[in-house]
Structure formats: structure tokens, C-alpha cells
A and B are shown apart, each in its own frame.
Chain A
């Protein structure tokens, strides 16, 4: 598979000290990748360098072979954190979704027929077609996430970037969002999302990038969920519990100790770093 996203020796950030350093990375088309790291590790900066909104200090980023040269030039759909949305803003679902074509749908203030048709297709596909005329606040958490996903899909891009799509949502919404992203990925959309949720999100994704200003590791969860790699990612001792073949991380060592003493059952193996 060819690389859809390529970072070559990238240093980026607003301050003199870059927020991400020496990032060299290829993400193949069709991948579903989670960028994992603690607060301040540069996850959002990594996404924003891809979007061209954070200046590169060194290096080069290409998407589909074309160099990223500034904001708005990236052919990617972007879904921001829901916490940044002003839910009281007077705007309906269809008004938000049509923003995805703000720069490509002509000079007139109303949408073209093809944009409206595309919007209805996407809303139906995401299961929120009946809510087009509703105010964005009048939806459930999962539906709200779908609205912003729909706006990103209006760009008809094969690359989707999501900043913490599961933060601040309940468990049912989180699962709903991840399943939906899985469906889109199976349709050929490359997905890159950031997350700090180790067990609830990262452990279920096909690929993980562990980031702590630099790339610590990139691979499948079974390869990168090791005490050594997670310890370097989070700058803290991390315990990994292998339970029925699945790797789970005990972020609190005392929790791991507690787990060790319980009759959880199944095959259990705990690795830890000192």
C-alpha cells in the first residue's frame, strides 16, 4: 500500500521549542491509526501540522504525494473536539454540514443542488437524515459527533482526521463513534484520530502511534503496549495486563497490584517497568 501521509524529519510548533520533534512517519492508505500520548505530548499539534495550521520549523509533510503548504490546502476532513463547539450558536444540522463545502460551492449564499444532495446522502448514511432541520444542541452526543463527521465527509476526502473524538462522551456514544469510524475505514477512508484513552480506545484500534513529542513507537497494540514503550510515552511506570490475549494497561500500579490478587480468571500475565 502506498503512504497517504508522510512526515519527513518534522519539527513543528509555535514556540521556540517545537511541540513535536524529529517526526518521521509513513501512514499507508486505508489505515486506521490512533495517536496516543499524554497531555502536552503533541497529539493535536501532529494533526494540525497535517492540516497546515501549525508552522513547520523543519522537515516536510506530504499527503498523497503533495506537500502540505498552508491551512486549507490539505485534502482532509477534520473533526474537532466536541468540547470546542459552541452549542448555543444558532445553527441547524444542515447549516453545519454544508460548511464542509464553504469554499467550493460557488458565490451564492444558498447551497447548490449537488451540495444539498450530497449532504442528504451523507446524513442518511450516518443515520441522522431526519435531524437536518434541528438545532445542533437538540441532538444526543453520538448524533452530535455524526454531524461534525458529516461536515468532514462533505470534503469527499479519503483522509479523515479526528481530534479526541471519544473524549467527554459516554460509553455508548464512544462505542457508537468507533463502530461508525470502523465502517468508514472499511469503505476505504484512512482515519487518524488522537486519544489519551488507553484501554477504552487505543487497545481496540488496528494501529497505534505512541507520541511524546517524538515518535516512541508505531505498530499494532500488541506490539506497542509494552511497559517499556508506554513508560517512555507517559514518563511514568505502566503495567500491562494480558487478559485472554488482550493487552490492558493499568495506569495506576496499585491497581495492577490489586488486580494481581483477585480472581479475575483467564490467563493473566503482568509485565512492569521499574
Chain B
């Protein structure tokens, strides 16, 4: 059998490939809003917060998605409220909420040494153990998110670009903020098994940044980022299989390599003559340096 079809003979690999492709595309799509809304740090923090819920669910033997989902939902609302308060810096407050939750999970894990293998998987992602139930949930989440982004496209674009002005044009900003916090929480929860807690933020950030380097149009960035996310997810699982490296780490490293290529294209374009007067080069990245800070 060929290099391509060989891994497909294993059920766990078929599951992992579908899951990583869907999760990669989902993170790429939602990541566009995360990056442009300057919420990368929130995404990073929320994945850590969800870890606390995941461990509690594991220890109690309850359904992972129910506990992590509830935990993520509460974290998202807390973060949403905290970021509206002015007397505490939003980043500091988010840091307290999310790292306390993460530390709670670590404390629980450190009491039972037999968790070590699962602990590694939760932190860095593992292509083993994607069940049919996981796949169904990932697929359902992708469909719901695609529908939400499709029908709220105009309102989401307005509020992302101009959060102060959008409400004056009738965009229900408070509802959309809460909805977006939930979207982010759901994205992180369904991504956690394949990507790992510590690497989800990168899969939210890198695909949109690559797309930003290649185009100036929001609609094109959304499409390209989803595509890059799905591609790196798919290819990352193959590399993970052959190189025996954690799936989350492989996907992120592949995305980072694509980023370097896109950056090189962007730099080369700067030195090429512009094709027409009505076009201009994309590539000034609308992200802060900390958006790329992946721990």
C-alpha cells in the first residue's frame, strides 16, 4: 500500500484525519474573528480554563463534553464580564481566571500518578482515541458554526471591524459578544483532544495570519484561513503518524512552516511592481506581537 493509503487501514487514523481536518478548518474560520478582535490571549486562556473542567470530568467519571462544556461556558461568560470592567486590566483578570482553572486541573492530576499518559494527551494532543461520538460532535459543531458565521456574516464583520460604531447601526453587540464567547468555548472544547490544551491557541492564530499575508479582503481571509486550517490538520495527522510526534505539535509546526512560506511570498511581493493601479499589496498583519505568542 502507498504512503497515502497505508494509515487509512486503521480506524483510529481515519477518525483522526477527519477530526483534525474538521477541527483545523473550524479553528481557521473562528480564528479569523479571534485574531481580528484581538482575542488571541482569551483563546489561549480559555483552552487552559477548559482543562480544569476536563480533569474534573475525568476524575468524576462524567462525560467529558458535558463537564468541559459547562466549565468552558462559565469561563467564557466570566471572561466576557471581566473584559468589560475597567479597573482591572483585562489581560490580568483573564490570566487569573484561566490559570487558576488550569492549576486546579494540574492539582487534581498530580494526586493520581496514573493520569500521566492522559495528561500528556490533553496537553499536546493525541491522534489515538477519537471515538465515533467525538467525530459526531466535531461534525455537528462545525455545521452549527458554519451556519452561524454564514447568517451572521455581516453583523460579525461590522462588530469585529468597528465595535464602537456597529451598535449605532443596530447591530446587537452584547448578544453577539456573548454568542461569540460561546462559539469560542465550543471550538476549543471540540478541538482539545486532537490539538491539546497548550496548542489550540496556535491553530486559532496561525491560519488567519497566513491568510492575512496573502489578501486584503475579509471574505477571502475567512475562506483561505478555513482552508489552511483544514489542510494543516489533514497533513499534520499524516506526519504525526509517520514521525510518531504528538498530533497537536505536528499540526502547529506545519502551520508555522506555511507561515514562513507566506511571509517569504509577502516579502518578495514588496519588491515586485504592482500589477495595476487599483490593487495594492496585502501583508501588513493586523495582529499584535502577542497574538503569535504560543506557549
Contacts and interface: CB of A to CB of B under 8 A. Distances in A.
A144 B155 CA distance: 22
Nearest to A84: B164
Nearest to B215: A90
A138 interface: yes
Q: Which residue, of A90, A100, A102, has the highest number of chain B Cβ atoms within 10 A?
A: A90
Q: Chain B contact residues (Cβ within 8 angstroms of A): what range?
A: 20 to 34
A43 B280 CA distance: 37
A99 B278 contact: no
Contact of B168 (A51, A96, A107): A51
A51 B164 CA distance: 11
Contact of B154 (A53, A90, A105, A130): A105
A146 B278 CA distance: 17
Contacts of B87: none
B12 to A, nearest CB: 37
Contacts, number: 101
Interface string B41-62: 0000000000000000000000
A101 B155 CA distance: 10
Contacts of A74: 168
A95 B215 CA distance: 14
Interface string B184-228: 000000000000000000000000000010011111010000000
B167 interface: yes
Contacts of A78: 165, 168-169
A108 B170 CA distance: 17
Interface residues of A, number: 38
A92 B162 contact: no
B166 interface: yes
B151 interface: yes
B169 A72 contact: yes
Contacts of B173: 71
A91 interface: yes
B150 A135 contact: no
A120 B177 CA distance: 31
A103 B168 contact: no
Nearest to A109: B153
A116 interface: no
Contact of B278 (A89, A133, A137): A133
Given A71-B168, A78-B169, A133-B278, 5 more contacts: A73-B170, A85-B162, A90-B282, A95-B219, A133-B279
6 contacts: A51-B168, A53-B167, A53-B168, A72-B170, A99-B169, A102-B171
Closest CB pairs A-B (n = 9)? A72-B170, A109-B153, A135-B216, A71-B167, A103-B170, A88-B286, A138-B280, A102-B154, A51-B168
